[in-house]
Structure 1
């Protein structure tokens, strides 16, 4: 009789005891990667077919590394190549693969994702690209070696909120800002652009803030996102306690680095939980992130409730509470400009794939044009 806990014929005490033993063995093997009872329930139909569960740790040219109960296995994704790029196998996915013995082994299906971090591609086909799946925390790495790009933080936060995960802003290389007053000022600037989001200054060099960051991702899955040179791989190594990820020095002139991480890799943290390290992001386009944008600019949404018109564009309309807040200095004008920019971009992305949204976008453009012309007419009459 087979001693393999995944073998359907294994177990001396009948089908029920055998099945329970296999389930316990699978749970024990996969729990460090995030496996739980809900995933087990979702996988049950595939277990009945003799397939094996596992989590995708890396995808490379049609093949992927899967963390399975018996260890890391290499599997082909040939049978799960959809036309929809949003359904391709991605790091962080839970999948069903062939049992041991196949050569090569194949991924047969993906389990439904709980969360997914998605950006728009740079192609002209208006497609989304999934960067990480089934994550609990989105760690937005921002280097303190260069001037803070608050607009970029807001953009990544919008996608982070839209993913369904919890975003956290991580200000890396805090050792380069030795003055505590200056560091506190930079943290406050980031907090202004990230309402309701933790902002953590950390240093992989000195260890500052690493214990707090480790506690944030412990027991779940975090994904590190940011530009090349933000120190993501160095930070991943610090959390792992080992040099698992290759790193290179950033350029002194602009703080940017080369892509030392070329694939998205799922790493197991020693204190519990997993971390997905990603290549540096040059462009980060929004992808149907309307609710995420609203979440990032929650204070503007709150002010907008007091505008005279419910569909106020916060430009030249009379009785605009948002513009009044800008005039009074209560709302930075940069925040309002960034809000408008991301809203426009998101509407454009949605309109490219939704005919109804395109009609609404044209109607909104005409309406705003009429409001602007009416406001100009009022000004002219006032001067006359």
Structure 2
């Protein structure tokens, strides 16, 4: 059960929680006067809220009736901080100086009436957000409409019913409390977003510096580097790769990697398996993102890199040249080794230790002589053929 004061008659209504949950579809009627209570009155009771310490709230009464002012002050100062002003000018000064949470403003005042005071309050940025409740003995509808048009939040008729006054003050303070909570939440969210934005900008700057440094390193390498995205489109190339292709970076970006590879007079076994075998080959290096998903490929070609077939031909030519040049010297060196081992064996024939060690050495030397002679003879026959 919740205790809700009717804003019309001030009656104390005991309302069940299930009725509060359905106020959008089922309005709540005052049990005393039959008034349909406004949502502004009911909603603060619908949600659990911290108890309001009303002594923290400041009320300002502006009225030319001094007796009425003193009565309101004595009645409410036990629950609120209360200031009073008997003229509109004094009320404007106090409002700007003390920044009250709520102003109760009489309409009928000599000199500057309540309408003019409200108008000036709303024109001043320092007092614009202070809630204003009009208090008047007038009961014409156009008075209320004019007051709401100037920015007032409520209208109370004289003579004032203290229960109604308390209920309506409490409604406005509840609304103010909710607005303050929302503002705090919004400020906290904005601060968090700003902090996140700063962190993102800092991270972007760091990545930009790292990326710039990486590009500089890749540009200084003696290898040609081409980088393509998942769509097989070139996204970047270092200086040597651009020179090899005879193209600028702004022209190469976004073009098909197959086109650029063929233009480079080189190939990649993964991307162009049917390319001519004599062409130098790029190393095909897959690239992955932080989640291990493929995000592109790096193609790398060394400045002095040759095709494997060319390397084999060069190695074979070098071996043949060495054998042709040193054939006789190899044979003579082997003959000297074999003769020396045989001579040493004759001298130390009766030495049992040499017999144990020397026999395997002699056998190995003979096998080496046979293999080298076979190799030399095979190379000569192959060359003659």
TM-score past 0.5 threshold: no
Structure having greater relative contact order (Cα 8 Å, sep ≥ 6) = 1
Of the two, which has the highest radius of gyration?
Answer: 2
TM-score normalized with structure 1 length: 0.19
TM-score of the superposed pair, with normalisation by structure 2: 0.19
